[in-house]
Amino acid sequence: MTESAPVPSAAAAPSLVARCWGTRGSIPSPGPLTARYGGNTPCLEVRAGGHHLVFDAGTGIRALGEKLVSEPSRGPLVVFLTHFHWDHIQGFPFFRPLYDPEACIEILGPTQMGVDVQTLFAGQMGPIYFPIPFEALAATKQFEHLDEDTWERDGVRVRAMRVRHPSYTLGYRVEAGGRALVFVPDNELVGGDYEELGEGFADRLADFAAGADVLIHDSMFTEAEYAAHQGWGHSTFDQALALAHAADVGTLLFYHHAPQRTDDQLDAIVAEMRARADALGFAGRVAAAAEGADLVIPEARP
Ligand SMILES: [Zn+2]
Ligand SMILES: [Zn+2]
């Protein structure tokens, strides 16, 4: 896998191409101190086997939408939501393909407390919160509930697993052409009280992420910060590294950066975590997810 490489032509398209359009957790954090890793909230674009998948609709989805409407031809879009906390849906009403009567968009996510996915989005665009009514979204839209299910089409498979986070929250595994990318933006690996998930969560998640080429995982806190944030639904850098090691992934990308974390601080943390990875014997690559960098995952395993 290489970063910041140009997206290859269709003829040489790899099985998976991904790009983070938002890497920040909780609230957008623009400004010179976050310009390199990005200030937009979660949004991940994945192109797999001709399918165009989007994960989460944080503020990063706005710029993705601008790019998509400028493309001469585009196929159906599928948007997967991990959950409905603000930082993961805030960009939804600004996603331009939704206003295009020619666009066809499938939107999947977990029902929340008995409220279906369409109603959740319509509520977000209610007149108290937003000036343009939900009915103005002219695209052909199909809203569907997705639990711990599998979505599959033409050899592209997306599996969902419930993770440890306040509200019903999913992590996703995308597989195509023998390659896999795992996206778990919000997840408290250790600590907190998530009895409803039952026993054996750590093993189930390690199985879910096993052998992935790329694991993009919540790493909001340092160990020192976590002490005051137990139960808030997020993990530490060390915990994410331990998962990457247990799952034997190719690359770990820290994600859901804390709003106050500067680029320079992230650089220092990554350097420290690479030393820990070496000490652990983790052979994979360790980096922090950056907005705008393409992750090109090669065609086939040797
Ligand atoms: Zn979040
Ligand atoms: Zn959340």
Mean pLDDT per segment of 10 residues, for the chain of length 302 residues?
A: 42 72 98 98 93 97 96 86 98 97 96 97 96 96 96 94 98 94 98 94 98 97 97 98 98 98 98 98 96 75 44
CA of 277 to the centre of ligand 1 (A): 25
| Tally of helices (H runs) and strands (E runs) in the chain | 7, 15
CA of 87 to the centre of ligand 1 (A): 5
What is the structure's pLDDT at 298? 65
Between CA 54 and CA 58 the distance in angstroms is 11
Between CA 191 and CA 114 the distance in angstroms is 27
CA of 104 to the centre of ligand 1 (A): 27
Q: Of the ligands numbered here, which is closest to the C-alpha atom of 24? A: 1
Residue 223 tokens, joined: 């160990």
Residues with Cβ within 8 Å of 160's Cβ and at least 6 positions away in sequence, in order, are: 80, 110, 146, 147, 148, 149, 150, 151, 170, 171, 172, 173
CA of 119 to the centre of ligand 2 (A): 19
What is the structure's pLDDT at 299? 52
Q: Of the ligands numbered here, which is closest to the C-alpha atom of 255? A: 1
Residues with Cβ within 8 Å of 71's Cβ and at least 6 positions away in sequence, in order, are: none
Report all structural domains of the chain as residue ranges with CATH numbers, in order of start: 2-6+13-297 (3.60.15.10)
What is the structure's pLDDT at 76? 85
